[in-house]
A and B are shown apart, each in its own frame.
Chain A
Amino acid sequence: MADQIGYSQKVMEHFMNPHNVGVIENPDGYGKVGNPVCGDLMEIFIRVRDDVIEDIRFRTFGCGSAIATSSMVTDLAKGKTLEEAMKITRDDVATELEGLPPRKMHCSNLAADALHAAIQDFREKQKKEATG
């Protein structure tokens, strides 16, 4: 539907009962994207062991799809290697959620970016430790 406004059932499930909500104290990686002015702000915390995302948490300010995509990306990333997790795209998240309304595809589908930012943060910390 070109003018679809409503959300899929999957989006509503994740919106009403989001998975992996919260923070990780002293995370191995932290990513933050969006800003409250635009109406969407997400942060993702990761715990990494042997190159695998062992634990992941998120907090999100935003609309239904912002919250649902955050929840979904944490599900998709958990247990994956960093390399696999880097390959998770915005489209993957939308597909797993059985689609998003067209106008939500860009503005409120930042969760994959937040995940990638967290992994990037982890890698930069590793680099610093190695060189420092």
Chain B
Amino acid sequence: MEERIYLDHAAAVPVHPGVARFCRQFPAGFAGNPSTIYQEGLAAQATVAGAREKVAALVGAWDPASIIFTSGATESNNIAVRGTALRNQKMGKRVVTSAIEHISVLNPAKDLQKNGFTFTQVPVDRFGVIDLDALAAAVMPETVVTSVHYANNEIGTIEPIREVAEIVHDRGGFLHVDATDAAGRIPIDVERDGIDLLTLSSNQLGGPDGVGALYIRPGVRVQPVIVGGGQERGLRPGTENVFGIACMGEAARLAKEEMPEESERLRGIRDRLIAGITGIEEAYLTGHPAERLPHHASFRFARIEGESIQLAMNMLGIAVATGSACTSRTLEASHVLLAIGLAHDEAHGSMVATLGRRNSLDEVSRVVSATRETVKRLRAITPL
């Protein structure tokens, strides 16, 4: 039997072998409680401190204390949007996001409306790039938080974060950037980029699930979303997930070290994949042709539906994603694909391939021919 080809790193990244090796130093995951002052506790403190330094280094944060650990990107996004808005509401009661943010940014922003905030979504162009003029009009002096992701997970487009930061800071508010998909794949520097809060996910770096981090620029005040003890500067109470944090730290270190070479390698595979698949009749690239994440290839196919594409590809041994409504829990069309101007029926036919360490150039031809076969088979059934 042919080996399976895994192309859904946007959903889950296999743990990096170097991370797995590093994590084995903790016997059965035991690492003590960092809030204690005996030897085991001090060792745990040192472990967390080491991880904090590695994560800070990945994103150019000079002060490791500016990193707090969370349970993942969803929690980081919640603290960043909700915690910053509520803590600084004397500045004003407005929040702004792009129209294609992750649901864990959009939902806390929507939820703030119950606290009297006005929430504005800024449109993107057909490639998914934020409309900077519309952003400049939307961000006001009363806008406490503006949240724009570094790159989108469905269409791979990288946003012009430095320009976004200029607009936001010109009005005096804070910029939150969800870098879940971009971190470890393209260089990020919170100083150079002018980022006040930055979301990171352990798993997208090759670490375990259930851990994430939030960079908070020194001086930016945030209130916690969940309340309890004083861990993580009181911003994320609860005993630290020391094991997970340690593994995330190592994943961040390896990602930084391997990024230049690995991103170049993935870019090469991605470009071949895009060339092959867009050669199929009525197949189109979604997202930006150049300004896109190095591991990300996304498409849409006319007259067929994404879940059937995913199922058929799976039967051919290939795991891909789709933005099809039929695979979502809500059964609603992808807000990202609608925001880039696709009609509902066009948005149904999407396929997303996200690459990782284990993928190789040799796999491209099999993926392209499986896609071709799948598209042909489904078009033979379609009434459209």
Contacts and interface: CB of A to CB of B under 8 A. Distances in A.
A36 B307 contact: no
Size range of the chain B interface in the assembly:
20 to 34
Interface in B320-378: 324-327, 329, 331, 333, 343-345, 348
B312 A62 contact: no
A43 interface: yes
Contact of A15 (B311, B327, B345, B384): B311
A21 B308 contact: no
Given A61-B304, A67-B308, A107-B331, A39 B324 contact: yes
A108 B326 contact: yes
Contact of B305 (A12, A16, A61, A104): A61
A61 B384 contact: yes
Size range of the chain A interface in the assembly:
20 to 34
B330 to A, nearest CB: 9
Contacts of B306: 63
B28 interface: no
Contacts of A60: 381-383
A78 B339 CA distance: 44
Contacts of B384: 36, 41, 61
Contacts of B91: none
Interface in A63-91: 63-64, 66-67
B329 A59 contact: no
B381 A12 contact: no
Contacts of A123: none
B169 interface: no
Interface string B202-218: 00000000000000000
SS class, residues of chain A in contact with chain B: mixed
Contact of A59 (B305, B327, B344, B382): B382
Nearest to A34: B383
B315 interface: yes
Contact of A63 (B326, B333, B343): B326
B321 to A, nearest CB: 14
A1 interface: no
A12 B315 contact: yes
A39 B383 contact: no
B345 A59 contact: no
B315 A62 contact: no
A59 B383 contact: yes
A80 B276 CA distance: 47
B383 A15 contact: no
Interface in A39-64: 39-43, 59-64
14 contacts: A15-B311, A21-B380, A36-B384, A37-B343, A39-B324, A39-B344, A42-B383, A60-B381, A61-B303, A61-B383, A62-B308, A63-B327, A64-B311, A103-B331
Interface of A: 7, 12, 15-16, 18, 21, 32, 36-43, 59-64, 66-67, 103-104, 107-108
